[in-house]
Chain A
Amino acid sequence: MLLSKNSALESKDNEIFEVEESIAIQSELIKTMTTMVNSKAYVNERNQMVPEARCRKQANYHVEQNNKIVDEELSDWESKFFEVDMDDLHELFMAANYLEIESLLNGVTKRVGDFIKACKNVEVIRQTFGINNDFAAQQEEEIRKLNSWNHI
């Protein structure tokens, strides 16, 4: 990889670290700010929300993504990358959303979706996301029947 311009990003914990600009602009937010500020190294003062560990992890995510050429390697690597505690996953989710990094966001989204898929029943889903059941008992039963997919 050619040595290209580096951007310095500051995280909420006041840690500054450098990433290649081509990786930094994977984040739509940073990309917008770069074009506005137009300097080789700048401090992103607005990056308030994102703790340092997240930033580093995301930078790594993109470096690795660019390195992996073969599809199989990429999908295996990606599934390992997202095998984290649900708390960490939540942070990744928030960070990817704030920084507007689509590929990272999609990866996390799918992982959370896998969790929903694996939930034993609908009540577990409600409990996890703190959702109230606002159906009448009969309604719920009817909906469940009409929407259940026959499977083995």
Chain B
Amino acid sequence: MDAFNTSMPLPFSYTFTITSGSCNTSTHTNPWMDVRIWSKLPERLLDRVIAFLPPPAFFRARSVCKRWYGLLYCSSFLELYMQISPSHHWFLFLKHRTLKSYICRANTSSGGNGDNRTNCEGYLFDPCDAAWYRLSFNLVPSGFYPASSSGGLVCWVSDEAGAKNLILFNPLVDSLIQLPPTLRPRLFPSIGLTVSPTSVDVTVAGDDLISPYAVKNLSTESFHIDAGGFYSIWGTTSSLPRLCSLESGRMVHVDGKFYCMNYSPFSVLAYDMAANKWFKIQAPMRRFLRSPGLVESRGKLILVAAVEKSKLNVPKSLRLWGLQDCGTWVEIERMPLQLYMQFAEVEGGNGFDPVGHGEFIVIMIRGSDKGLLFDICRKRWRWIPACPYLGSSGCANNGEGAELRGLAYEPRLATPVISLLSCFTG
């Protein structure tokens, strides 16, 4: 596995060299392993080591011998894996299809070759080793777009206006299941997903089609299933606060609540799943925010936004605020000014979208494939190295620069919770 390749041309010189940290393999120690003792390692301990491997290393290890190959299907190994494997806070990027491409597709009779399969592959980014991988999404049917990710599953939503079909997909092991359709017809609702080893919760909000040509943010419906036998097939419904505007399409889950950005003026809407109720939270400095977005980080909600006080002589900046338990925001980080100047130049006022989990936040510049990675623990900012798979022959991008949209994705070898959903398929 290659570590961060510093010879690759990066758009700007504002990078940090990787110093020693838990993500690096050490080269200081004697690497020689005495095969006499290591070959006697108990099988159970070796299985533990394999369960700890990140997915690329795990799949390579399958070539070692038949026993290692079969671990992916071995229930005792998978049980161990579910108990002890660490969370890998990685990111999944897909090429973004703009609204324009939907309209073009509707106008051409044949449906077009390129557009349908734009999302046949995804690009997995490991923020620890700064490495890119390619994943295939060939199993996902055309006519769906990726909306959210949690617990190793990616949620795809049907394009067509009307009752929405949702698909949950684990790209590592190609397991896929379709949920029963939502009850209300909608256009492009906001989707919130949270998956645990024993439960699945999905909330679909807004964009109610009150007539074939009129859309209003009126209601939400929720889906729940858990291993204890409780389920709700979109039966849990709630009204959205009046006059809300949910443009982002994304909801972030933190501690039993889904949060999403509300626009004009900016505020944060929160949906309490247990109480089945929506409430509003004021945004910090709401008159001076630009391109605000929400991410989850280590059990807390974080608001990421550019601050621009053009009338006062306050320097522009990009800031992060954390939501406290008492409901107030506290500024936790500000992008270094010099870096923000570079960032703003690339961004050119187009806006940006943050995604994050664990100790990492990625801020992707809209309309581009460029983004910044922020490590919350070490307080380090760096540009993400360019993805080497864009513009490959597999998925034509019609000669335009590729735009990547990201999801906070945790690769999991097994997502047994999918089997809970099989009772709903026909």
What is A's interface to B at a CB cutoff of 8 Å?
71-72, 75-76, 78-80, 83-87, 90, 93, 97, 105-106, 109-110, 112-118, 122, 125-135, 140, 143-144, 147-152
CB-based contact A116/B61 at 8 Å = yes
Complex Cα gap A87–B38 (Å): 9
Listed A/B pairs (14) with beta-carbon separation below 8 Å: A79-B20, A83-B29, A86-B38, A109-B48, A110-B52, A122-B61, A128-B39, A130-B40, A135-B65, A135-B66, A144-B63, A147-B60, A149-B133, A150-B389
B37 to A: closest C-beta gap in Å: 5
B107 within 8 A of A: no
Complex Cα gap A112–B61 (Å): 13
CB-based contact A117/B21 at 8 Å = no
* Residue of B22, B49, B59 touching A113 (CB-CB under 8 A): B49
Residues of B within 8 A of A132 (CB): 65
> Which among B1, B33, B56, B62 has the greatest number of chain A C-beta atoms within 10 A?
B33
CB-based contact A128/B35 at 8 Å = yes
B1-59 residues with Cβ-Cβ distance < 8 A to A are 1-2, 5, 20-22, 24-26, 28-35, 37-42, 45-46, 48-50, 52-57, 59
Residues of A within 8 A of B57 (CB): 113, 116-117
CB-based contact B63/A152 at 8 Å = no
Complex Cα gap A105–B48 (Å): 9
CB-based contact A79/B24 at 8 Å = yes
Main secondary structure of the interface of A (DSSP, over half): helix
Complex Cα gap A117–B20 (Å): 17
Chain B residue with Cβ nearest A72: B377
* Residue of B2, B30, B40, B49 touching A85 (CB-CB under 8 A): B30
CB-based contact B39/A134 at 8 Å = no
Given contacts A83-B28, A114-B25, A115-B25, could you give 19 more A-B pairs where the C-beta distance is less than 8 Å? A85-B29, A86-B32, A113-B49, A116-B57, A125-B64, A126-B64, A126-B65, A129-B46, A130-B35, A131-B39, A131-B65, A135-B66, A135-B69, A140-B63, A143-B62, A149-B55, A149-B56, A151-B131, A152-B5
Complex Cα gap A97–B47 (Å): 13
Complex Cα gap A117–B45 (Å): 17
B388 within 8 A of A: yes
What is B's interface to A at a CB cutoff of 8 Å?
1-2, 5, 20-22, 24-26, 28-35, 37-42, 45-46, 48-50, 52-57, 59-66, 68-69, 84, 86, 131-134, 359, 377-378, 388-389
Complex Cα gap A53–B295 (Å): 45
Known: A125-B64, A151-B132. A118 touches B1 (CB 8 A): yes
CB-based contact B60/A148 at 8 Å = yes
* Residue of A79, A130, A144 touching B39 (CB-CB under 8 A): A130
* Residue of A87, A93, A122, A150 touching B64 (CB-CB under 8 A): A122
Complex Cα gap A143–B26 (Å): 30
* Residue of B22, B50, B54 touching A75 (CB-CB under 8 A): B22
A66 to B: closest C-beta gap in Å: 18
Known: A76-B20, A117-B25, A149-B59. A97 touches B39 (CB 8 A): no
Residues of A within 8 A of B22 (CB): 75-76, 78-79
* Residue of A115, A118, A134, A152 touching B131 (CB-CB under 8 A): A152
CB-based contact B64/A131 at 8 Å = yes
Chain A residue with Cβ nearest B131: A151
CB-based contact A152/B52 at 8 Å = no
* Residue of A71, A110, A128 touching B86 (CB-CB under 8 A): A110
Chain B residue with Cβ nearest A125: B64
> Which among A87, A105, A129, A134 has the greatest number of chain B C-beta atoms within 10 A?
A129
Residues of B within 8 A of A85 (CB): 29-30
Residues of B within 8 A of A83 (CB): 26, 28-29
